[in-house]
């Protein structure tokens, strides 16, 4: 996952261009730097998505629109409609701990249409006792529909959690299974 080598707090000044689009899962916010997509958020209304972006990046200067954001947001909508297919969008994930970044990289190695458990993911990272930390890293994933954390389930096969709501997680898993 191409990302900036940054500490866990995003640097300032950071300019994020964003757009909010409608999608089958509600509203989709895509935010990007000039280098790539920094955040993809799902929600029910534009105002709460913009507020969440501002809370996630309190040092950032937020601006609407910008090139090539419109094209990238079109591609994110395609990725959302076809989550089992690989995407080739540039990512510029700002922030995250080293452990979170390792989890996010591991999520990208889960093949389309397949799932794994939080326990399996922790074991794959060589930290079998870090199951809760893996779940927390999944919840902190800023580009959730591009780094597909919905593919991670509880050990008993249950859905577990999903930052964007269990109904959206079920919908994405069903799309991949179809």
Q: What is the pLDDT of residue 144?
A: 80
Measure the CA–CA gap between 53 and 29, rounded to whole angstroms: 9
Residue 138 falls inside a structural domain: yes
Question: For residue 58, what are the contacts with CB-CB under 8 A and spacing of at least 6?
Answer: none
Q: What is the value of pTM for the model shown?
A: 0.84
pLDDT at 139: 92
What is the three-class DSSP state of 53?
A: helix
Do both 102 and 76 map to the same domain? Answer: no
Closest C-alpha among 65, 80, 4, 75 to residue 31: 65
Say if 36 falls within a structural domain. yes
In a domain, 93, yes or no: no
pLDDT of residue 81: 86
Domain-embedded: residue 9: no
Instruction: State the CATH number of the domain containing residue 67.
Output: 3.30.160.70
Tell me the catalytic residues.
149
Supply the pLDDT for residue 8: 57
CATH number at residue 173: 1.10.10.10
Q: Are residues 77 and 115 in the same domain?
A: no
Domain that holds residue 59: 14-81
Same domain, 20 and 56: yes
| Token pair for 32 | 């990007």
Structurally, the chain folds into a number of domains equal to 2
In a domain, 19, yes or no: yes
Nearest Cα neighbor of 176 from 149, 155, 158 is: 149
Residues 170 and 111 in one domain: yes
Which of 23, 46, 81 is a domain's end point? Answer: 81
- Kind of pairing, strands 14-23 and 26-32? antiparallel
Strand 14-23 to 60-64 pairing: parallel
- 3 assigned to some structural domain: no
CB-based contacts of 82, cutoff 8 Å, min separation 6: 175
Residue 60 lies in a domain: yes
**42 lies in some domain:** yes
Tens digit of each residue's pLDDT, the chain (178 residues):
544 544 556 555 889 999 999 998 899 999 999 889 999 999 999 999 999 999 999 989 999 987 688 899 999 999 888 877 878 899 998 888 999 999 999 999 998 889 999 999 999 999 999 999 999 999 999 998 899 899 999 999 889 888 888 898 888 888 888 7
Question: Do 43 and 106 reside in the same domain of the chain?
Answer: no
CA–CA dist 105, 166 (Å, integer): 23
């Amino acid at each position: 996952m191409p990302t900036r080598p940054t500490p866990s707090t995003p640097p300032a000044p950071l300019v994020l261009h964003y757009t909010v689009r409608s999608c089958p899962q509600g509203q989709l916010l895509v935010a990007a730097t000039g280098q790539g997509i920094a955040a993809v958020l799902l929600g029910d209304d534009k105002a709460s998505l913009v507020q969440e972006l501002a809370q996630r990046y309190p040092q950032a200067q937020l601006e609407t629109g910008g090139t090539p954001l419109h094209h990238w947001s079109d591609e994110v909508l395609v990725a959302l409609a076809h989550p089992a297919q690989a995407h080739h969008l540039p990512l510029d994930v700002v922030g995250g701990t080293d452990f979170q970044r390792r989890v996010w990289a591991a999520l990208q190695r889960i093949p389309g249409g397949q799932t794994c458990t939080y326990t399996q993911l922790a074991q794959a990272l060589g930290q079998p006792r870090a199951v809760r930390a893996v779940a927390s890293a999944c919840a902190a994933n800023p580009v959730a529909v591009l780094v597909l954390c919905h593919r991670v389930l509880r050990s008993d096969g249950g859905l577990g959690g999903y930052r964007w709501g269990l109904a959206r997680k079920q919908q994405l898993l069903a799309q991949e299974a179809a």
